Amino acid sequence: MKTFAIYLDSEEKQGYSTGDIVSGVVLFENLETLWVRTLLLKVHGQASMSWGGCGPSATAPFPVSSDSTFSEEVEYYQHRQILLSPPYNAGEENLVALQPGKHEFPFRFQLPPRTLPSSFVGKYGRIQYWINAVLERSNNKQTVKRELPVISHIDVGSPALLSPVSRSKEQTVGCWLLTTGPISLSAKIERRGYCNGEAIPIYAEIENCSSRLIVPKAAIFQVQTYLANGKTKIFRQMIANVRGSHIASGRSDSWNGKMLKIPPTIPSILDCSIIKVEYLLAVYVHIPGAKKLVVELPLVMGTIPCNGLGSRTSSACSHLSMDMSWLAQTLPEHPEAPPNYADVVTEEEFSSYLPSCPQPAVWGQQFGGHIVAYIQECRFQPPPLYSESDLYPPSTEERRHVSFMI
């Protein structure tokens, strides 16, 4: 056999998800005549994990004995498909003869509608899906396999992941009775869900009432949790961080949307019974000679980004809507029309503007009365009826393009 391989029709696809169709071919090239009993396609997916006792666990902070081993496996998917089998009249040998050359055997199957955990390889366990092609001959078997990437999509635009998260904490620095003022930390993020490549705007207030020089920092941590035989193993690693400026004694500092970009990482895995992958944003204060002051904000790494504006733009819009909330309470939904001008002017005011001096006769003949009286009468005529649209729009020739240079 010269070639034996599995090819997928969508080689460029990053991952398959629930309900997707997986199709491809099993290709092999033989230089001599092959007598084949069957060609079988097997697909399986499982989560497995194992660790031996050398360090503490979450439930037992003491070292576990070296001869203790914890392991667990969960099967998530199985599929079996026969691609080649001998006909009924193949005889006692029950074999199929394949002439020298290239042979392609197409396959096609659909992933189940239920949720499948995303593919993952971690410190103490993995979640993997494999496609195996087994060629059974008269005297032996040959197997080739390839990994099938599976991803469980998470929409960060869901209402549960759009809610803001905030935490506050305070710590007093000192030893015995020689204590100084407290250090307070308050941190907030606008939402819980983010995707790869996005930047998280961090809002924080740090107040240093101690006598020490402190430094605020923030970091994104990936937390892998493994569950086996009632025991828990946790592995935590930092994937991104950012640093603030020093804060002297008696001073304070504010982060008004300090950006922390998310590096390429796998999405959160929350639907596997023995392996979980979670994320958190830790905003902390480094205090020389003392324990760090830390607040942790939970994060969910998704695959489907929010359809609205970007995080920075939505942040500005949300703050603007909060600052301008008073305007919506004072302005009516529909503006009222101005009052009739004739209703405002009384008869006494109108009579006080009557002319007291004689006018030229020619004006009286032309206007049918005193010209001043005519002017005063026009002066107190009501304005045109109120309309939100211009009843007399200017003509095209009257329009002028005005530009301002700043």
DSSP assignment of 363-375 equals HHHHHTS-HHHHH
Give the pLDDT confidence score for residue 331 in this predicted structure: 39
Mean pLDDT in order along the chain per 10 residues (406 residues): 90 90 93 88 95 55 56 94 78 76 93 93 96 89 94 93 95 72 94 94 95 94 94 95 94 95 95 96 93 95 77 39 34 49 53 52 52 51 55 52 45
CB-CB contact of 269 with 152 (8 Å): yes
Give the pLDDT confidence score for residue 299 in this predicted structure: 97
CB-CB contact of 189 with 297 (8 Å): yes
Q: Which two tokens stand for residue 327?
A: 């305007």
Compute the C-alpha angle 128/299/19, nearest 5°.
Answer: 40
Give the pLDDT confidence score for residue 130 in this predicted structure: 97
Whole-angstrom distance, CA of residue 113 vs CA of residue 208: 54
The rounded Cα 6 to chain-centroid distance in angstroms is 34
Whole-angstrom distance, CA of residue 71 vs CA of residue 65: 15
Give the pLDDT confidence score for residue 37 in this predicted structure: 87
Give the pLDDT confidence score for residue 20 in this predicted structure: 94
In the sheet that holds 178-189, the strands lie side by side as: 165-175, 178-189, 199-208, 252-261
Task: Give the domains, in start order, of the chain with CATH numbers.
Answer: 3-147 (2.60.40.640), 159-308 (2.60.40.640), 341-379 (no CATH)
Give the pLDDT confidence score for residue 330 in this predicted structure: 36
Give the pLDDT confidence score for residue 394 in this predicted structure: 55
Give the pLDDT confidence score for residue 114 in this predicted structure: 87
Whole-angstrom distance, CA of residue 40 vs CA of residue 44: 13
